[in-house]
Every structure is written in structure tokens, then in C-alpha cells.
Structure 1
Amino acid sequence: MDLWSEAVIDPADSVSPATSTRPISVLLIDDDETWARTQRRLLERSHERLSVSTATSFNAARDALGATEPDCIVCDYQLGDGTGLDLLAEVRATEPDVPFILVTGEGDEAVASDAISEQVTDYVRKMDLSQQPIGLVRRIKTVVEVDRSRRALARERQHKEALLETVTASSTRSELGETICEQLVDSGYVCAWIAVLDDDQGVVPLSTVGDSAYLESTITPGTRPTDSTEPTLRALDETEPIVHSLATIGETEPESADWVPVAVDHGFGSVAAIPISHNGVYFGVLTVYSQTARIDDRERALLVEYAETVGYAFQTTAWKRTLLSSATPTVEFTLSGGCHPLLGLATALSDESTLRIATIIPRNDDEVLYVTTAEGVTEADLSEAVDVTDSIVSVDYYRTDGVIHCGLIAESPVPETRIVDAGVSLSETNVSGRDARILAVLGGGTSVQQCVDALSELCGDGSVTTLWTSDESTTSKTEAVDDLTDRQRQVLKLAVEAGYFERPRHNNTGELADTLDISRATFTQHLRAAQRKLFASKIHR
């Protein structure tokens, strides 16, 4: 038995449906031309997905790797003008993860040890292959599928990190939708768009990126969801995800022939239309078109997460800072005694670790997402701590290089949502040691005692302490507001109440101007004048 291959291949990471049908390119390297030629024929005959090219020397292998990027490298130990270990070291310098299987006739432990130290993926002996000819096929398939699964996971993390950054940075729905669609097209989809309904229940595009010619051919502005079986329209009508492979849809839904030929002519192989909603409120549909023959379950789950996050961003108008109140102190609430769901997690980590929560997104009535930065902890330690913390449902990693950026799913209710309901705006939460510190800005109609009562109801008496961190006087703020004209005060108040200063914004300048029946330029002029007066009074105090 080859103990090394048993150690590096995790059965849980075996062939996944998401990647099991894709071709596998293999570079086979051996200075024995007869063995290389024979093994190539055997591999390709044993499995139709394998495409094998060969190199018969160290330098030839170098040239081949410079010209191609194989899914897997199978290399003999002795290459005449070099060794397989020498080539492995060069490959790992630029491609640390590409599967590399070392084949040797030596079979001694020194070679195996050196191969392991150079991070070889698998290690086999020619003697074993002669006894089990198809053994190498199984090894190649396994290591390639494991590598593809890891790469897919890394891409998902990048997507999720970019998604959160987009939600934070975008100021309008159109801007958010445009950026989301750009990300999806950049990731490989041919076309991505967000469809919404106008006042007459007709379909109109909010954002479109990619091959829009298809949309112009099949969906005209004002089309109603019931007018066609095109996936976007069906998803709008049924408020359910619609995912199709165009190669088989004609067999299952022959009435769909009106749009399928057009989609095929534009090079589409599959389509997914995902409703955008939050808390039961539907805003539209996110649709992507792909050249691949199918959109697998992993892709679908990621698209659903995109749509859910966009839905949250579209609906959120609460959690805004109150700028006009004569008393808007910043208060730090300190929670202890296991009151915060992340306290149990922090207890399971080292004393040097800190969890910083910048964003909290309610997912549904039962769960919230904490967008978290974890410092002083490794990914392995954090995953282990999540497993033993009952209040944390799961962890999803967005970035793990240096400081860990992740999403922690916790069970509701949580302290942050309780005090938001009481009328405060959250700044951040820091969890370390034995307590959690929530920094919040109070609204004009909210007292500290109301927040303490709300937290104590959830956590119990004696578990909440407060610290006022604002030393701004009421008089100076009142004087600053009194300096505003009636129109400036009206404009600024509307901007605050509409969430204009939040990210993401719910209303743009034009929409707010329309509310007051003034021009956009006039609205902007009054808003800037009001801000200048407030900021000037703060600087001169």
C-alpha cells in the first residue's frame, strides 16, 4: 500500500457532481519513450475524459509546461537530464497547488521523503502500476477533482468578499445592480441582468451587463411576466428560482421554443433566474446566462446568496445615523455572562484573539450574519471553535491571508437587533476575552435606559454596562441646527430619515428632490450648505 497517497487524498473531497464531467488534461513525463507511449494509450483508453500529452526529458517537460497548463502532471523520478524532484521544485515555485504525481522505479523511502517535503500531491511506484494498470487513472481523477473543488471554493470566497464590498460601497439600487452584474460577467457568465417591475407590472431592466442583444430580441420593456416562458419572466411570475440547461429544455418544455433558439444563437448553454427578495418582499430577478451546458448546485447556491444580499440592500432603510438631534451621544454597551452569541466563540479561542463585527445582516427570522474580522487566530482554530459553539450555526470564509475575514451565522435574536429596534444606529461590535462591546449612536427619541432595558430583557439583569463616549454638548448642537434655514433643515432632515448618508443608500438625490418638489440642483445646494454649517460649528467648538 502507498501510505503517502492514502494520507493526501481525503475521501470526503472525492469526485463532485460539479466537476466530474469536465475533461482532464495530463502531462506525462518519462525518459522511457516506450513506457510513456504505452501508458498514454492506457490512460486515454481507460477513461474518455483524459487527454494525455507526453515529454521524454527534463528540458522537454519544461518546454511543455511553458506552453500548456495541464490539470495534472505525472512525472517519472529519473529523467536523464534531471529528476522528477527537480521539476517538482520548479513547478511548486510558480504553481503551488497543481496536482503532481511522482512515479518511480526506485521505491526507496528517501525519495518518498524528499517528494513529501516538496509538497508532491501523490507518490506511486511503477511496480504497483504494472499490477494495477488502471490505478493511475483513479489517482489522476481524484487529485484533479480535489484541486478543482478547492479552486471553486476559493472563487466563491472571492465572490462573497466582492459582494460585501459592493453592498457597502454602492449608493443607489442601479449602481449596486450594475456592479453586481459586472462581477458576474467578469467571473465568466455571458450576460447578467436584474429585472424589476414598473408601476404597470411590466418588466424593465434595472441593470444589464454583457450580451444585451439577446434581451433586446426576446424581452421588450413593458412585457408582463405571464407573456413568455423565458426564465426571467417565469421567476418574476412564480417567485421561484428557474434554472435550465438549454440542451434538454426543448424535450421537457416544448412551448419554450420562442426564446430557446435565440439563446442558443447567442452561445448560451444554460440560464439561471433567481428572485431577489428579503423578508418576503420581492424586488425583481437576477438572471445569468452561461456558455456551459449546465449551472450546477454550487453555482446556484452562490447565485442565491447574491440575490439574497441584493434583496437585503434594496430593503434596508433602517440603521441610519441621526445627525439632527440635539442629543445624539455615542454609547458603548458592554455585555458579559454569555449574553452575546460570539462570546461563546471567543471563549473557545485564545486570549489574544479578537472578533470585530462591522456589519450585521438579518438573514431571516431565525438567523443573522455577522461580517467579521478575526485577529490573532488561525482558520483551523476558528473552525474548531465554531464546531463547539452552540450559538454559531456556521462560518463562511471570504479571505484568510493574514487577518481572517469571514461570515458567522448566529441564531436570532441577538443584542444588536434588539437595540436597533429600540432606535439606535450601530457602529461596530468587538468581542474578546469575557465581554462583547457594542458601539452605537443613539437617536433623538431613544434613551440609554431603553437600550439597557432591551438588552437586559434578552441577557438578564446585571449583564449590561454602558459607557458614554461622546462629550459633545447639547447646547452647541442646538445652536448649530438653529443656524440652518427652514429649507436647509427640511432637506437635511429628509436626507437623514431616508437613509441618504448610509451605505447602501435607499434613495438618491433626484428621488429626494422629487419628494420636496424641487430640482436636484436646489436640493444638493441646500444639503451642502447645511452640512457646511454643521461641520463648521463642530470644528470651531
Structure 2
Amino acid sequence: MATRDALAEAALDTLPITVAVLDGNGNILLTNRAWDELDRDGKTDHVGVNYVATARMAEQDEYARRAADGLEAVLAGDRDSVSMEYPCQTPAQKQWFLMRASRFTVDGEDRVAVLHLEITDRKLAEIEADEAAQRLREEQQSLEHVLERVDGLVRDVTDAAVGATSRDEIERRVCQRLTATDPYVLAWVGRVDVTAQRISPREWAGRDDVPLETDELVLSSDETHPAVSALDAGESQVIQDVGTFEDADQWWPTGAGEWFQSVAAVPLEYGDVTYGVLVLFAEEAEVVDDRELLVLESLAGTVSTAMNAIEARRMLTTETVVELEVAIEDSSLFVGALATDLEASVTYRGLTYDRDGTALAFFYVDQRDGVADVAASLDGVTEATVLSEYGDGALLELALSDDVVTAIGDHGGVIQRLDAAPNNRVVDLALQLPNGQSTRSIYNVLEERYDRVELLSYHESDQPTQTPRDVLAKLDSELTDRQAMALRKAFYSEYFEWPRGTSGEELAESMGVSRSTFHQHLRAAQQKLLAELFAVDPTSEG
């Protein structure tokens, strides 16, 4: 018997769980090594200690009380076993254990085996899973609220933008709708004055007690204002708490936090065209999170699209154009570089496009020697061809990659002048543009690309009822690509002058076609052009 007891005790000492055996009164008869090592009081001999009484001494601890109640039920024979999980704060960390007490009989005597198994890793994983589930539930509730709010906001803003008949009405109705929705207390839309390089609120809505900026903002100078930063960077800007924003007092009265605590500025852009900036003020801090900003940017896209549609309709009925003239100084602009390298004047003649969409620009250079080689070596020029030589110079055809010429065309602009004088890298650029937004956008493109851009003039003027642009637009639907190219090349190369600046053979060679084919394209284009001018159907007989 002694040998068997010794074997049992030795086996218990090898177990990685704490084990104690109690008699029928709850006194400890036996413990294993793990139990002794876990004791925080430093005791190594627990035999004779009443385990249940010890647990009762800590009844203020809910877990100790539940353990004592369970053990007493097992000792009384009311239950065969009991188990519970409980935390234990050790000097190093908080741990979790599983206690299990089971009743058994030896030689007619009741005994209870008490086991404690550490389950910290599992418990922490369960707690983390529960917390994650709770966060998910809260996030889902928040998302449902946001979706409900956003759905109404998007629908109303879209209706306001699409239903408006003017840009002013779009701006006014959008500001009103946004400030009718929490948490926004003020909204304004600013437009850019291209000549003065300033921006100020154009339309706004909000609570009467919320102050509105009264000073104009200077672009490229007042960078700390979120509206200016948004336009300069081309992306949304957010101030989550004006109380921590160093320059808040510069833009808003002292104590602005009484009215609003966060600000968001979102550019209104359609493609490369910038219509202005939408600025929103929220009553609380930290409300414009990534999700909210995504909604605002989506709304800004809807507003910009509606503005573009209205501008497109206005362009079809308006009789005004914007005339813009700038001086550009930058060694990377091929026109100025060509004039400097050749020590010659470079004069713009016109523009067309190849069948693959490559821009073909025509320039007259008052020099002949090596002009094509010099031009072909410049950035932005992929190919240079001398179409003809006459007078003291040469007519160049330049195939252009992504450059100022193609950018202007993308913005609906028409180049009137793109010239450079000898030994002068300052290029004189004059344009006609369809509206102020296109003008602002192309001016931004020029400023971003080149070292120095100086605005020389900005003028809105009435255009004739039927402009060259109108005629060209109608012809574009009639002419084939090759017919249009033949007509443009002939005109720009002074084929119709006398004496001719270039021959039909030279133009045919530049297009990679035979002389007869070139003349067929040219005659067809001339017929369609004259038919348009004289309102004659080119397909009619007689």
C-alpha cells in the first residue's frame, strides 16, 4: 500500500496541473509539486489546511465564493463534480485557471480531487473574440446609421445638383442640403479668380450664429487655410480639431470652437477642370473620418459632374470666349529651346492630329540649316520634319508627345500664338478657351509644369455667331482623318499661297501617300469645306 501511495504521489508531481486531495471535511490531504510552486504565500506544506474555509475567507471575491459553494456541494454529496473558470492576478500578469473538483471514494472514505489548469491563452483568445464581436456589432450599428444618413444625403444632394439650372443654383442648394444634415453647421463653395489668384465664399448656408470668412484667400500664399491647401494639392484637406490647429485664429475669430470644431475642404473637379472648392464645418471634432471623407468626395464628384453638364450646355449657347495670354520661361519648353539653340525666331502656324492621335504642330523657323535635327533632339518632340523651305527659313512639322500643346487641346483651348524670339527662352502663348474653369485649369497645368508663368492678359469677349470653332466642329463630323490632315497640312505649309511654300509631292511624302492620293484627299476636304461655308450638301447633284 505504501509503495502504491508513493507511486501515486510521484506521478502527481510530474503533472503540469495543480492537484490537491481533500478529505470529507475539506481538509487538504495531499498536494503535488505544481500546487506548492503556485502558492503566492510561499508555503510548501498545505496538508491539514481546510481548503473550503480558506476560500470562505475571501468571500468578497465572487470567484472565491462560487468555488466554496461548489466544493461544499460536492463534499455534501449533492453533486459529483463542479467546475469553474476564474482569473488570478500574479505579480507578472493576469492569468486564468479552470478549477474542477470531483468526488471519489477510497476504502469507504469520501475524497475530493481539486485540479487547477491554467487556461490563460484560451481565455485571452475568447475575450479578444468577444471584444471583436462587440466591436463588429457596434460598427455594424454605426454603419447602418451612416448608410441610412448617407443614402438620404446622397439622394438629396444629387437631386439638388441634377435639378439645378445654373451653377449658382447648384452651389446654393448643395450647401443648404449639407447643412441640413448633422453634423455640419456651415458650408460654402468658393470659386477661383484666375487674374487675382484669390478665392472667397461664393455661395454658403448654415446656422446664423456661425461666422463666415470675410477675407479673400490668396492662392499659393495662404496655404494654411484648408480651402487653399485643397486647391493647391488637388486633394481633400481635413482639420479634425480646430483647437489644435495652430493657424485657426488667423482664419476664424477667437473661440471658433464655440461654433465648429472640425473643417473639411474638398476640391470640385471634373477631369482636369477645377470648378472650385467645397468647405464644410462640423460642430464636433473628429467627425470627418476616412469613411465620411469618402462620402464627401463622392458627393463632390456628383456636384462637379452636374457643373460640367451645365457648363457644356452654356458653351453651346453662349457667345463669349476667354482670351488668355501668358509668358512662359522654362528651358524644358521646346519652343523656347528651339529658338535659343538655333538663334532664330520660331512662329506657330497650326495644329492637327495624326490617325493615331499624335499631335502634329507646325512652326516656321527663320533659318534652314539643321533645324529638323535640333528640333528632334528636344524634350517633348518625337519627330521633326521639314515640310518646305522658302524665304529665309523652313516650315517644320513636329510630332509631339505629352506637352503644353496637347494639354491645351485636352482643355478645349485653341492656340492663337506660341512664339519665341532668338536667344530668348520666354515663350509668348496666346489662347482662346471656352470658359473660366478651363482657363483656371490650363493655367494650373502651366504653373505646375514650368518654372515661371506670368499672366499677361485675361479677357472675356463676345464671339461671332458662327466661329471658326463652330465650322471646324461641323467639319470634324464630315471629314475623314486623312482628309482633315491633308487640308490642314496644305494650309499650314502655305500650299495655297503664291508662290507656294511647299509642293504637293512634299506634302504627300510627309503623309506617306502618293501624290495622286494626297490630291484626292485634299479635293474631297475642299469640297466639304466649301459646302459647309455655302450651306450646300456635298452629296447632292446639280
| TM score, norm. by length of structure 2 | 0.32
**Could you say which structure has the greater relative contact order, defined with CA pairs below 8 angstroms and 6 or more residues apart?**
1
State the TM-score, normalizing by the size of structure 1: 0.32
More strand by share: 2
Counting helix residues as a fraction of each chain, which structure ranks higher? 1
